[in-house]
Homo-oligomer: A and B are copies of this chain.
């Protein structure tokens, strides 16, 4: 078979970048190239947008050294997009894929991306066009169903852990009340990773609030007051997605109070990140209601997903491997389309394996923290530490007098 008659492949990166999403991209590319069964490997610029606009980067000719450097670079090297393709959008994508003689399609992203894969896969089946669609998991939120955890989460969790380790020491040196707002709209996994900063009696975070339980202002203030009495200081981890008992995010209530205008993305999600408003609101609340003096709030923002130089070693390996696995599974054929999931074999020692799952297993579904890991609506159980250890990797050693 001459090269020009080989089917082509398209790969894209969707949603929020992570520190290791390029590992997955390179995992797909190197496996496809080594197979000798793919013509051109086309990287879609800015995800689905590049697909409908026919904006691709040729990836098959990039040398291995450069690919390895790309893999080690955070954020999405191809660019990303927040577009949520509906059926009509997917039909346009499918037309481009057909015209480009694309037989293999890989989409690296979260649950919305797997849904895009699912729709395109259905369109191709209906059209009798031979297209294998593979979703490659990625999300710092760690909220994909059927995955023990997701690539990107480990490095973001490592950032959160290292940030809290340092901030615990900072808060100990200059005691006061400190709030750190962590990403996580519906799932509290990333916020809960702050638990790893607790290494000695009295270490913070002393309180952890996740979106899995509803947030009550009076209870919160009582808990902060209690921690201050116990520790003489209080370090607090808060998910950006905390909400009241009716499910209204605090950030939305806040936005309604302050300016009556709320920014939503194409997925209907309210803007939570890229603003310090929630942290400042909680900070003001504590100052006013508890008459507390030194109250500070930091919002980790985009640092937690793109900071250069804070990668979990297992996360980097696993992100590469899910990319390779998706490419291998698609080439082997058989089941057609699908997704790849990380499964845990054991925690101590940490060991995982990779498994094919159906697109419908992850598409547009969300996983949240198990209730067994949550304590009194204001803390995370020590049992969660075992889950995190292997994912995050060994942390730097800190010492105290």
Give A68-116 interface residues, CB cut-off 8 Å to B.
69-70, 72-82
A80–B296 CB distance below 8 A: no
A79–B399 CB distance below 8 A: no
B76–A307 CB distance below 8 A: no
A72–B174 CB distance below 8 A: no
Measured between alpha carbons, how far is A360 from B69 in the docked complex, in Å? 49
Indicate whether A33 reaches chain B with its CB closer than 8 angstroms.
Answer: no
B307–A169 CB distance below 8 A: no
A78–B401 CB distance below 8 A: yes
Indicate whether A323 reaches chain B with its CB closer than 8 angstroms.
Answer: no
Stretch in contact with the other chain, from A119-127, A271-279, A376-384 = A271-279
A307–B174 CB distance below 8 A: no
Indicate whether A173 reaches chain B with its CB closer than 8 angstroms.
Answer: yes
Indicate whether A283 reaches chain B with its CB closer than 8 angstroms.
Answer: yes
* Chain B residues, CB < 8 A from A307: 162-163, 166
* Chain B residues, CB < 8 A from A167: 302-303, 306
B70–A165 CB distance below 8 A: no
B82–A174 CB distance below 8 A: yes
Measured between alpha carbons, how far is A173 from B75 in the docked complex, in Å? 7
Give A374-393 interface residues, CB cut-off 8 Å to B.
none
Give A140-182 interface residues, CB cut-off 8 Å to B.
162-163, 165-167, 169-170, 172-174, 178
* Chain B residues, CB < 8 A from A163: 303, 307-308
B273–A276 CB distance below 8 A: no
Measured between alpha carbons, how far is A162 from B17 in the docked complex, in Å? 16
Indicate whether A66 reaches chain B with its CB closer than 8 angstroms.
Answer: yes
Do A306 and B80 form a contact, CB below 8 Å, given A276-B275, A298-B299, A397-B69?
Answer: no
Indicate whether A301 reaches chain B with its CB closer than 8 angstroms.
Answer: yes
* Chain B residues, CB < 8 A from A79: 172-174
The closest CB in chain B to the CB of A295 belongs to B274
B70–A399 CB distance below 8 A: yes
Give A17-44 interface residues, CB cut-off 8 Å to B.
17, 19, 43
Measured between alpha carbons, how far is A301 from B178 in the docked complex, in Å? 11
CB distance from A138 to the nearest CB of B (A): 12
The closest CB in chain B to the CB of A158 belongs to B309
B162, B173, B295, B401: the one contacting A309 at CB < 8 Å is: B162
B174–A309 CB distance below 8 A: no
CB distance from A294 to the nearest CB of B (A): 8
Give A287-322 interface residues, CB cut-off 8 Å to B.
295-303, 305-310
* Chain B residues, CB < 8 A from A400: 70, 73, 77
Do A302 and B170 form a contact, CB below 8 Å, given A276-B276, A276-B297, A309-B162?
Answer: yes
- 9 intermolecular pairs with C-beta atoms under 8 Å apart: A57-B401, A72-B397, A76-B173, A82-B174, A163-B303, A178-B274, A274-B297, A298-B303, A308-B395
